[in-house]
């Protein structure tokens, strides 16, 4: 299949694999003191597991699976708010599919739907606007979530609603931002990451420059990475080249999609509709300053938080969860006390077990570096 198979070529993968092994040896990292590389984005995590990329890497390189799965990092309190909104009789609550299963403190959206809430799965925020047009006597709330990747389409939908004068549409905004989160990880006291794969689709919107500080201020190499398996292998190879040559730079592996300054039209739509929140709560990471956006006052009519009473309660993560440590690479997913026992994809306790983009769910479902170890762990748990 054109534009797909070229990026999954086994021959090219094998030659990249050989070069990665050679470079790892040259750098001198070892299984006891491995090089820790973080892929920030959940899309990368999913691809790494789906294509079995970790097994192609030497034991001296460890992938740390970052917090870039918007579904995983949604805190319980926000899920509870969604359920409260969705259970209002006048409301049609429109959401992306994979947010349906995220557990709240009382229930998930999937459970609320089963109990009678009118919750519809949509593929685009514009589908939610269509729902609003078709149901003028109902209130349609779109559950906006995701990083800068999904922000432009939500912003444009709000602008479209305003243009058409659609009054029964609003947005429950849970969009989050990448850069403050990367910074929070870099500032964390137990931070051990040596280099980063930066999210390709976020960068398509914001460009490469916002990541300059990672190389400049923290002396860590960072490569903007695409989502096909060869993209990921090539980016790992580019990171290793930087280590071997003693460089810390922002490099753009995904240049076929990512312009250095991002997408101007998308950025304009974002800044027209959204403003930075002082802080936003993350599952597994706690509160991070400036890591979320809300709707500007000018568009207050489209803000579900202003239009309806949203309880906005803070609910603490379950105590046994070690998601934060997994995200920062302090422990591996299977080293968590409750991995595969109290916490499984079926009954997730922690953020990372929720979506197939979460590191723990991916380990549990796909297995990885050590399939034998994983099988043993699962047998012990069952």
Question: Are β-strands 286-289 and 279-282 bridged in parallel, bridged antiparallel, or unpaired?
Answer: antiparallel
Let me know: does 104 contact 119? Beta carbons within 8 Å: no
Q: Could you tell me how many residues of this chain bind other proteins (CB under 8 A)?
A: 51
Judged on CB neighbours under 10 Å (0-12, 13-18, 19+), 7 is middle
Q: How far apart are CA 181 and CA 292, in angstroms?
A: 10
Q: Does 175 bind other proteins (CB under 8 A)?
A: no
Let me know: does 203 contact 254? Beta carbons within 8 Å: yes
243 vs 280, which CB is nearer to other proteins?
280
Q: How far apart are CA 127 and CA 74, in angstroms?
A: 22
Which of 56, 64, 224, 240 is close enough to bind other proteins by CB under 8 A? 56
Q: Which part of the chain contacts other proteins (CB under 8 A), choosing from 209-217, 264-272, 326-334, 357-365?
A: 357-365
Q: Which part of the chain contacts other proteins (CB under 8 A), choosing from 53-61, 235-243, 299-307, 317-325?
A: 53-61
Q: How far is CA 9 from CA 4, 14, 15, 57, in A?
A: 9, 9, 10, 17
From the CB of 55, what's the least distance to other proteins, in Å?
Answer: 5
Q: Does 111 bind other proteins (CB under 8 A)?
A: no
**Binding characters for other proteins, 180-219, by CB under 8 A (x = yes):** ---------------------x------------------
Q: What is the DSSP letter of 176?
A: B
CB neighbours (10 Å) of residue 311? Answer: 9
Which of 80, 91, 141, 149 is close enough to bind other proteins by CB under 8 A? 149
Q: How far apart are CA 41 and CA 43, in angstroms?
A: 5
Q: How far apart are CA 174 and CA 151, in angstroms?
A: 10
CB neighbours (10 Å) of residue 179? Answer: 17
For residue 141, the surrounding DSSP H or E stretch is strand 139-146
Q: Does 229 bind other proteins (CB under 8 A)?
A: yes
From the CB of 39, what's the least distance to other proteins, in Å?
Answer: 15
Q: Does 15 bind other proteins (CB under 8 A)?
A: no
Let me know: does 218 contact 266? Beta carbons within 8 Å: no
Residues found in the chain: 382
How far the first Cα of the chain sits from its last, in Å, is 40
Q: Does 371 bind other proteins (CB under 8 A)?
A: yes
Q: Does 381 bind other proteins (CB under 8 A)?
A: no
Phi, psi of 133 (to 5 degrees): -65, -40
From the CB of 370, what's the least distance to other proteins, in Å?
Answer: 11
From the CB of 305, what's the least distance to other proteins, in Å?
Answer: 20
Q: Which part of the chain contacts other proteins (CB under 8 A), choosing from 49-57, 175-183, 282-290, 293-301?
A: 49-57
Q: Does 345 bind other proteins (CB under 8 A)?
A: yes
Q: Does 222 bind other proteins (CB under 8 A)?
A: no
From the CB of 112, what's the least distance to other proteins, in Å?
Answer: 15
Provide the binding-site residues for other proteins, judged by CB under 8 A. Answer: 1, 4, 8, 10, 13-14, 17, 43, 46, 49-56, 70-71, 96-101, 110, 121, 123, 127, 145-147, 149-150, 201, 229, 344-346, 355-357, 364-368, 371-372, 374-375
């Amino acid at each position: 299949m054109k534009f797909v198979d070229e990026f999954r070529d086994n021959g090219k993968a094998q030659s990249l694999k050989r070069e990665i092994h050679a470079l790892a040896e040259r750098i001198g990292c070892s299984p006891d003191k491995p090089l820790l590389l973080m892929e920030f984005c959940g899309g990368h995590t999913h691809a790494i597991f789906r294509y079995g990329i970790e097994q192609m890497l030497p034991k001296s390189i460890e992938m740390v699976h970052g917090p870039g799965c918007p579904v995983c990092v949604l805190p319980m309190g926000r899920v509870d708010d969604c359920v409260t909104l969705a259970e209002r009789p006048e409301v049609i609550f429109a959401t992306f599919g994979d947010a349906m299963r995220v557990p709240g403190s009382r229930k998930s959206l999937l459970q609320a739907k089963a109990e009678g809430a009118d919750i519809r799965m949509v593929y685009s925020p514009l589908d939610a606007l269509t729902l609003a047009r078709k149901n003028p006597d109902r209130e349609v709330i779109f559950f906006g979530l995701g990083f800068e990747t999904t922000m432009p389409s939500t912003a444009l939908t709000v602008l479209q609603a305003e243009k058409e004068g659609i009054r029964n549409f609003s947005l429950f905004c849970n969009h989050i931002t990448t850069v403050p989160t990367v910074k929070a990880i870099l500032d964390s006291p137990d931070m051990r990451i040596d280099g980063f794969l930066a999210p390709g689709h976020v960068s398509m919107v914001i460009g490469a420059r916002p990541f300059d500080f990672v190389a400049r201020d923290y002396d860590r190499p960072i490569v903007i990475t695409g989502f096909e398996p060869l993209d990921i292998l090539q980016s790992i190879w580019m990171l290793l080249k930087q280590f071997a040559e003693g460089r810390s730079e922002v490099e753009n592996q995904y240049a076929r999609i990512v312009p250095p300054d991002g997408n101007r039209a998308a950025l304009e739509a974002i800044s027209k509709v959204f403003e930075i929140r002082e802080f936003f709560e993350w599952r597994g990471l706690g509160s991070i300053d400036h890591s979320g956006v809300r709707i500007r006052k000018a568009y207050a009519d489209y803000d579900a938080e202003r239009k309806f009473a949203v309880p906005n309660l803070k609910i603490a993560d379950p105590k046994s969860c070690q998601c934060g440590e997994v995200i920062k690479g302090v422990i591996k997913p299977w080293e968590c006390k409750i991995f595969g026992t109290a916490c499984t994809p079926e009954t997730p306790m922690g953020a990372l077990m929720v979506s197939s983009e979460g590191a723990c769910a991916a380990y549990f479902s796909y297995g990885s570096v050590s399939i034998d170890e994983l099988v043993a762990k699962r047998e012990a748990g069952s």
